[in-house]
Structure 1
Amino acid sequence: MRHLFLLVLLLTMALYTRAQGGDGAQQKHLIFFTDKDNSPYSIAEPALYLSAKAIERRSKQGIALSFRDLPVNPAYVSDIKAAGAIVLYTSRWFNAAVVQCSPQKLAELQTLAFVKGTQQLNRLPASNKKATQSNDSLALAKVSFDPSYFGPSFHQSNMLGIPELHAAGYQGEGMTIAVFDAGFPGVNSIGAFSHLFQNGQLKGTYDFVGNKTNVYGHSQHGTSVLSTMAAYDPGRIVGTAPKADYYLFRTEDAATEHNIEEVNWLLAAEFADSAGVDVINSSLGYTLFDAPSYSYTYGELNGNTTIVTRAADLAAATGMLVVTSAGNEGNKTWRYISAPADADSVLTVGAVDSLAVHALFSSVGPTADQRTKPDVVAMGQQVYVLSSSGALGRSSGTSFSGPIMAGMVACIWQARPKLTNMQLLELMRQLGSNYNNPNNSIGYGIPTYSRLVTGLADELAAGINITNPVAEDPIVLRMDENWQKELALAQLYDATGKLVYTQLLPAQQATHTLSIRPSRLKKGIYLCQISSNSKNVTLRFVKL
């Protein structure tokens, strides 16, 4: 039964029948259903619609199956088709179907007892498309090849500590990343991606715009995005997670901007969930759309409103970690992040230049409800990427800082497999250079593997963390509710094991500031032992 879930997915996609005659009056709509009653699917038999890997991911993180996981009732789909409408896809999470029909047919569908509501997606006929430019610039140029392993791509990886992470044996093995983008031309022929095919690391592809499996066409944006994670051409370019498994999904039509692309994102996320994906990388963002589609206002970027933001949070609810680019509007009128970067359960990534300075184009926060965004940043200005021809060039955009970070996330999760996706998200913030003073331009800063080595993952799992590294600012302990129940004792030891400081920590406090002045501590590694009547943990930090 392990392949039955794929059968459900393929049947969902097979519902599509291309309209003949190019009827311009036919538009795409999201049809919401009232329930999932009398469905052949049940929570008791998840193998009918989820892969073994998807079920395992939920089990490891303690996530119970729910009504939302069930496919839509196929009887409802059959009735809509019988009424004469074209059913393109169905959505488990929204309990809906993407339908193409005329306004007259839509009015007829709205009278069906199982139809709860509808939303127009305004997908225009091909003849009305207008070309749009990507916000990311790809300027191919001659480069001087570095003889080292990472080649010219070394600096963008080294900023995060990727070389050390790879040397420690973490290159993404066993992790699965789904990439949502506008096309992947050349991926099936470029030598730097040949290992994906030879090693069976490319697990699947689907074009949700064109309703087909071939994604090796259209915009080269996705090819360049993928190269920052998956490319393997030592001495020229090595991605941040070259040994991870990948799914490639085309959800974006680069020629137009309509709400249907948000629904494509939703459908790809559901497919990724069912297939057992661990990390989603989305170098896409939505704010303003082509008429007559509905555009968003900044006030609607509150984490709960846009279609794609709701989809991203639902993806996170299944245990996947969604990594999304902040956007490239920082030096434009809009300025702020785009959707789904406003979601509260995703890792939003901004961009810095080679000197770790905020890139002017990188969108800023906060969200409309005043949450700090972006979460973290990586190099996104003049990074090395591959074009559809396989040429190495330099490009700028949060579209590239995002996947560079997504590759790191996959490797960190490989190194710390017991973390839940939300613990991993928090860990990435804690690994940031700006963790103790987050802002709305670089968030929690640049995460580095060196900070993981000092034990932050262990702290997260223990429900307590400490300022790390320490310079001149106060040393702060943050404790979860389990630690707050009782009195605790903090003891600092230097690298030789000498006790240098002791402080009592009263109960019912989430934050404690140690009274010792950092200037009293010599440079080096310190251990902070926290003990109570029922618990004991040792934290590590570095004094700079």
Structure 2
Amino acid sequence: MRIVLLFLLPLLASVSLPGQAAAGSGLYFVGFTDKNVDGVDYPFQLDQPEDFLSPRALARRDKHGTPIEKLDLPINPAYERQLHDLGLSIWLRSKWMNGVVIVATPEQLGPVDDLPFVDTTYYAAPLQYERGARLPLPAQLDRPAPQVASVPVAEKFYGFGWKNLQHLQGDSLHRMGFRGAGVLVAVFDGGFPDVGYKDFLGYDQEAAVPANYDLVEQDSTALDGSTHGATVLSTMAAQHPFFFIGLAPEARYILFKTENSRGEHRMEELNYAIALELADSAGVDLVNSSLGYTTFTDSTMNYAYEDLDGRQSPASVAIDRAFARGMIVVTSAGNNGADPWLHIGIPADADKAFSIGALDDTDERAYFSSLGPTADGRTKPDVSAPGVLIAAVASNGQGLTAANGTSLSAPLITGMTACLLQAVPDATNQEILDAIRATASQSAAPDTATGYGLPNFMAAYRYLRQDPE
């Protein structure tokens, strides 16, 4: 994993409580052959999706004409019981991957492999946390939305957030009243300390955040850890008039900690995929992911450029599955354009990922912004946004940060996409992304450096409304 941001200036799937793990324990993914949904003990039915999907998730699928299928059904609890009978504890569950992450030693894997319903097992990460796990709570969408100050859409009132907004022609959408209201956004990152400050989410207390999940430590909150997530979030959600207003201050945000600051392993990709499942179940419309995977602490897990076909990583596969269910996943292309890797990372290689490159102050590719195409020749990045000296709120809500990176480019696009989703609520996710590409600065000649170029969100709105320029 590499969190794709460079600071320059200061300015759940349910879990079982892990017992005392044996020495040498690690986290292993165990994939099942099927879900045996026709078995006598299987408790879920395709014609009763309300048992495992929220009303909001079902409404989004109805809008996109997406049927409920076996992939959406939870894993078979009878399979879990047999793993428990072997003395193993479940760390995470995945219905889309049809498997679980277990805590085990290498010696314990033999009996697991012998189970008739087990298809595959592989090592994901060392066990680094022995924290008390919790069952993740459903998103509390009945909690009040943040109270957003009604201020004129002008530089004086938007403060340091104005340049971000105007560069993407988002000020026109804000003047029309489209600031992300009614849109549910998930943010995947390494932590979100201090987001209870009104400067971030408009809530008086952290408990009012609709939901937050820590898939890494399995503890009670994601509102701690790396400050990276809080910085990313601020570009969208901050709402402090005269100092900083973000690009989608009226959207609602669900926060996921998927990144482990103690090391880089494939487990983070599993966290990412499972976070997408949770986001889908909660009814999330839009995801921001300022993350990328290329090389790892354990070098045997490293990817090669030839792997970037959108089918090798569970994170990339999960993005395509999320898109098929009506979601939009915006992800950073990566900051490797000036180092030997050079190319985009995973999951920016996913076919349906909206992968974002970085531009400098002349709207040319920033020197660090990763290059496409994918290994199978698809255009990436999709579009590019400002990514050099981008203003953001400091993680404690008490000052300003200026930062470089596609980590900042991605949330700028996410924030404006939230406004576009509000402005054209009948548009599908494919129509939204097609409109952004079709009206970007290089729509006639996309390339492997900046994709379709710099978006113009007011033009995208007109395109969707079929209004004349």
TM-score, normalisation: structure 2: 0.88
Larger mean Cα displacement after TM superposition, 303-312 or 396-405: 303-312
| CA gap 1:13/1:406 in 2 versus in 1, 3 angstroms | same
Aligned partner of residue 440 in structure 2, secondary structure: coil
- The superposition leaves residues 21-70 of structure 1 with CA deviations (integer Å, 9 ceiling, x where unpaired) of x6441111111111111221111000000000000000011111111000
Q: 1:88 aligned to 2:96?
A: no
* Match in the other structure for 1:475: none
**Equivalent residue for 1:426, pick from 434, 438, 451:** 434
> Are 1:328 and 1:397, in contact at CA under 8 Å, matched by a contact in 2?
yes
Inter-partner Cα distance in structure 2 for 1:150 and 1:303: 38
The residue number in structure 2 matching 1:416 is 424
CA deviations over 1:326-349 (Å, ceiling 9, x no partner): 000011111100001011111111
Identity of aligned residues (%): 39
For residue 79 of structure 1, report the CA deviation from its aligned partner: 1.1
**Larger CA deviation: 339-348 vs 305-314:** 305-314
Q: Aligned equivalents of 1:340 and 1:91: distance in 2?
A: 18
Per-residue deviation at 1:458? 3.8
Structure 2 residue 57 is the aligned partner of structure 1 residue 58: no
**Distance in 2 separating the partners of 1:54 and 1:68:** 15
Residue 18 of structure 1 is matched in structure 2 by 18
Contact 1:352/1:359 (CA < 8 Å) preserved in 2? yes
Residue number in structure 2 paired with 1:511 = none
Q: CA deviation at 1:196?
A: 3.7
The amino acid across from 2:14 in the alignment is: M
Q: What is the CA-CA distance between 1:124 and the residue it aligns to? A: 5.0
| Contact 1:432/1:445 (8 A) holds in 2 | yes
The 5 Å alignment of 1:177-188 reads 177-188=185-196
Name the residue aligned to 2:286: 279
How far, CA to CA, are the matches of 2:313 and 2:57 in structure 1? 26
Contact 1:13 1:211 in 2 (8 A): no
CA–CA separation in structure 1 for the residues paired with 2:211 and 2:109: 34
The 3 A distance-change label for structure 1 pair 310 and 101 is same
Give, in angstroms, the shift of residue 393 of structure 1: 1.5
Gaps of 5+ in 2: 1-11, 131-153
Task: For residue 147 of structure 1, report the CA deviation from its aligned partner.
Answer: 6.6
Q: Distance in 1 between matches of 2:155 and 2:309?
A: 47
Match of 2:34 in 1: 35
**For residue 395 of structure 2, what is the amino acid of its counterpart?**
S
Counterparts of 1:123 and 1:197 in 2: how far apart (Å)? 38
8 Å CA contact 1:346–1:425 kept in 2: the answer is no
| Larger Rg belongs to | 1
Q: Is the 8 A contact 2:215 2:257 kept in 1?
A: yes
Give the Cα separation in 2 of the matches to 1:191 and 1:428: 31
Q: What residue number does 1:289 align with?
A: 296
Counterpart residue number, 1:174: 182
Q: Partner of 2:68: helix, strand, or coil? A: coil
* Counterpart for residue 120 of structure 2: 117
RMSD of Structure 2 on Structure 1 (CA): 1.9
* Aligned position for 1:344: 351
> Aligned to 1:218, which of 225, 232, 235?
225
TM-score between both structures, scaled by the size of structure 1: 0.76
Structure 1 spans left out of the alignment, 5+ residues: 1-8, 128-145, 460-538
| Kept after mapping to 2: 8 A contact 1:58/1:64 | yes
Aligned to 2:402: 394
User: Alpha-carbon deviations, 1:110-134, whole Å to 9, x = none?
Assistant: 111111111211325479xxxxxxx
Report deviation, 1:199. Answer: 11
What CA distance in whole angstroms lies between the structure 2 residues aligned with 1:53 and 1:197?
25
2:316 to 309, 315, 328: 309
1:443 matched to 2:451: yes
SS in 2 for 1:540: coil
Q: CA deviation at 1:197?
A: 4.9
Amino acid at match of 2:183: M
1:208–1:300 CA distance, 2 compared to 1 (3 A) = same
Q: How many residue pairs get matched?
A: 430
User: Does the 8 Å CA contact 2:26/2:124 hold for their aligned counterparts?
Assistant: yes
Give CA deviations for 1:416-461 in whole Å, capped at 9, x if unaligned. Answer: 11111122121111121110011111111111123135x31145xx
